[in-house]
Chains A and B, each alone.
Chain A
Amino acid sequence: MNRINNLFINNTKNILSVYFTAGYPNLNDTTTIINTLSKSGADLIEIGIPFSDPLADGPTIQNSSEIALKNGMSLKLLFEQLANIRKTTNIPLILMGYLNSVIQYGVESFCKKCKETGIDGLILPDLPTNIYVDNYADIFKKYDLKTIFLITPQTDNSRIKYIDSISDSFIYMVSSASTTGAKSDISEAQQKYFQKISNMNLKNPKLIGFGISDKKTFESACQFAEGAIIGSAFIKALTNSKSIEKNIENFVTQIKGLRPI
């Protein structure tokens, strides 16, 4: 079974998904970050494919992408780094990036490589649902790659239901109308929106992302969804670290309140 589906069958609460940009802070940190996150208690990992023009991202992820590219990261190299990742961890892995990277790699070669590597899903923010359904759904399904779609406070109910109907893993609930990046608090308006979605009884589980940065925002998000996604705050935790392993352990422990193993 696809590892994402498996995760949500066994867990319905406090799921922590962590995003990082491949190639940041150092070119060869990728497997260390994944293995340490996995050991420290993260439930799901989103590996960012750095892109020169990340439209949906705020300053933190823009900056990490720029540095990753300067370090020499590419999609080809990322697949090389991940070649043996399934020997060390069984955590669900999602690739997150922009469609142009996939197109230039070659859509079918990309999917094949994902399958070989043990990638479970994709988040491609600039691949809209209609283009996905018309041109990509069949090939992604052939390689058992789950596509995760976003909904936002501006997404109306009928579209939410549509997105639920074409999804088969989880729905990425964007917490506010914004690019990625940590904000400190979750407002009442956001809570209302989370509650509304929660009451819709969608068939897919939901993870809340954008602006989740610490234990407090993680816990309040988890009241309304199966879990939450942290990106920018995690990137910041990796910045200027002496030992990224230590920083990662501390970060996950702080959020989930677990002891590192």
Chain B
Amino acid sequence: MKYDVNKNGYYGSFGGAYIPEMLYPNIENLKKNYIKIINSPDFQKEFTELLRDYVGRPTPLYFAKRLSEYYNTNIYLKREDLNHTGAHKINNTIGQILLAKRLGKKRIIAETGAGQHGVATATVCALMGIECIVYMGETDMKRQAPNVARMKMLGAEVRPATCGNKTLKDATNEAIRDWINNPVNTHYIIGSVVGPHPYPDIVTMFQSIISYEMKIQMLQKTGKDSPDYIIACVGGGSNAIGAFYHYLENTKVNLIAVEASGLGVNSGKSAATLVLGKPGIIHGSKTILMQNDDGQITEPYSISAGLDYPGVGPIHAYLAETKRVNFKNATDSEAIKAAYQLTRIEGIIPALETAHALAILEKTKFKKNETIVINISGRGDKDMETYIKHLTI
């Protein structure tokens, strides 16, 4: 497929593996083996069974009747929030833990922002009886406290990242440093389509189940396997690529990715990477990132810990460059409003990350006969402390 990674690990000019020599053997090992392992029948069997019986897939495609009436169009919700652990993140961690086992790794590390990837990693480690260490920015540990508690109960060690803004970028730095220090026994489960090749491809493969199911469900429900629009939020971009993947070559489907613009794109407090960023290298990958003229990576800001990241996955940099995906953004307050709206109108409390995707409904005019799928990447339990502050809305 023309949007897949090429044999050198690039999407157009983006991607690659800009890694220190200390990680060379690990990345080589992954590169040589991941496709073979993932495509093997025993892997596929175990992966499919766990997704069905443990995670609860397929997740429903739900026709949101009242929301559709409100916007005078046809809105479907892809319910990734109904997955075990409450977000799409577990699609990837199930896949990666099976990969790690087949690579003979005995120790798992991960980074997390919102804590959903950390919880999903801690969960699969408990399931497989493997040691688990999760790096999380100190700021995020405070704003996503329920997920910190969940990880601990699951038996993971949560290590605070105390550099920089103490958010997702800093947690990722710490996880990479851990891997440098423990190259032989450890597998790093990256939580989004970021990092050095082949990680973006691995995570894409595991998340693409979302659009795979969506095609079947759309056909069943509407008689057509594709909607007119698919909308998803983007931190690193894993739920978005999952929701887009099987539609990338069907250009009739409009793909909308939504970044977090915090207090406003030009407020200096934003995470709208594709508006504010330029090409460079972050976490081992060439992509678009927020940086100053000296090449220092800028501290991003968003109310949502999972979107508070100064880069995007290299595949998204490429999809934006080729204009296959339309990148938009939503502010903190637009997201909060959208979260309350979905909650009051459909009885679904979405994750703050997901709320950014929902906010596009208010900002775009859709036609009466059009169909729209919004990827509900996660549920909002973890965000109650933030939501409740806005109860008077």
A binds B: yes
Contact check, A179 vs B180: say whether CB atoms are below 8 A apart. Answer: yes
Find chain A residues with CB under 8 A from B296 CB. 51-52, 69
Question: Which residues between 24 and 49 of chain A lie within 8 Å of chain B, taking CB atoms?
Answer: none
Find chain B residues with CB under 8 A from A156 CB. 25
Contact check, A150 vs B295: say whether CB atoms are below 8 A apart. Answer: no
Interchain nearest-CB distance for B7 vs A (Å) = 12
- Count of A interface residues, CB-CB < 8 Å: 39
Q: Does B19 contact A (CB under 8 A)?
A: yes
Interchain nearest-CB distance for A60 vs B (Å) = 13
Contact check, A100 vs B280: say whether CB atoms are below 8 A apart. Answer: yes
Contact with B along A123-147 (1 / 0, CB 8 A): 0011111010000000000000000
Which of A83-91, A101-109, A112-120, A221-229 is the contact stretch?
A: A101-109
* Interchain CB contact (< 8 A) of A149 among B21, B25, B281, B295: B21
Q: State the CA gap A117–B173 with chains docked (Å).
A: 32
Q: Does A258 contact B (CB under 8 A)?
A: no
Interchain nearest-CB distance for B68 vs A (Å) = 44
Q: State the CA gap A227–B163 with chains docked (Å).
A: 33
In the complex with contacts A99-B281, A103-B281, A177-B184, A75-B294 CB distance below 8 A: yes
Contact check, B163 vs A62: say whether CB atoms are below 8 A apart. Answer: yes
* Smallest Cβ-Cβ distance to B278: which chain A residue: A104
* Interchain CB contact (< 8 A) of A126 among B18, B164, B279: B18
Q: Does A53 contact B (CB under 8 A)?
A: yes
Q: State the CA gap A155–B25 with chains docked (Å).
A: 7
Given contacts A51-B295, A154-B184, A177-B183, 8 further A-B contacts (CB under 8 A): A53-B173, A56-B20, A58-B177, A100-B297, A128-B18, A152-B22, A154-B24, A159-B24
Q: Could you count the A-B residue pairs with CB atoms below 8 Å apart for me: how many are there?
A: 100
Q: State the CA gap A104–B295 with chains docked (Å).
A: 5
Q: State the CA gap A178–B22 with chains docked (Å).
A: 8
Q: Does A174 contact B (CB under 8 A)?
A: yes
* Interchain CB contact (< 8 A) of B16 among A69, A129, A131, A159: A131
* Smallest Cβ-Cβ distance to B164: which chain A residue: A52
* Interchain CB contact (< 8 A) of B294 among A55, A76, A155, A174: A76
Question: Which residues between 162 and 193 of chain B lie within 8 Å of chain A, taking CB atoms?
Answer: 163-164, 169, 173, 176-177, 180-184
Find chain A residues with CB under 8 A from B258 CB. none
In the complex with contacts A53-B297, A152-B21, A177-B183, A103-B280 CB distance below 8 A: yes
* Interchain CB contact (< 8 A) of A174 among B16, B22, B169, B283: B22
Contact with A along B265-282 (1 / 0, CB 8 A): 000000000000001111
Q: Does A74 contact B (CB under 8 A)?
A: yes
Using a CB–CB cutoff of 8 Å, the interface residues on chain A facing chain B are 51-53, 55-58, 62, 66, 69, 74-76, 98-105, 125-129, 131, 149-152, 154-156, 159, 174, 177-179
In the complex with contacts A51-B296, A53-B173, A104-B180 CB distance below 8 A: no
Find chain B residues with CB under 8 A from A154 CB. 22, 24-25, 183-184
Q: Does B17 contact A (CB under 8 A)?
A: yes
Find chain A residues with CB under 8 A from B173 CB. 53, 55
In the complex with contacts A52-B296, A98-B281, A174-B21 CB distance below 8 A: yes
* Interchain CB contact (< 8 A) of B22 among A56, A62, A105: A56
In the complex with contacts A51-B296, A52-B164, A177-B184, A128-B17 CB distance below 8 A: yes
Residue contacts A-B, CB under 8 angstroms, 11 given: A52-B164, A57-B177, A104-B280, A126-B19, A127-B18, A128-B21, A129-B21, A150-B22, A177-B181, A178-B181, A179-B181
Interchain nearest-CB distance for A12 vs B (Å) = 24
Contact check, B297 vs A125: say whether CB atoms are below 8 A apart. Answer: no
Find chain A residues with CB under 8 A from B377 CB. none
Contact check, B180 vs A56: say whether CB atoms are below 8 A apart. Answer: yes
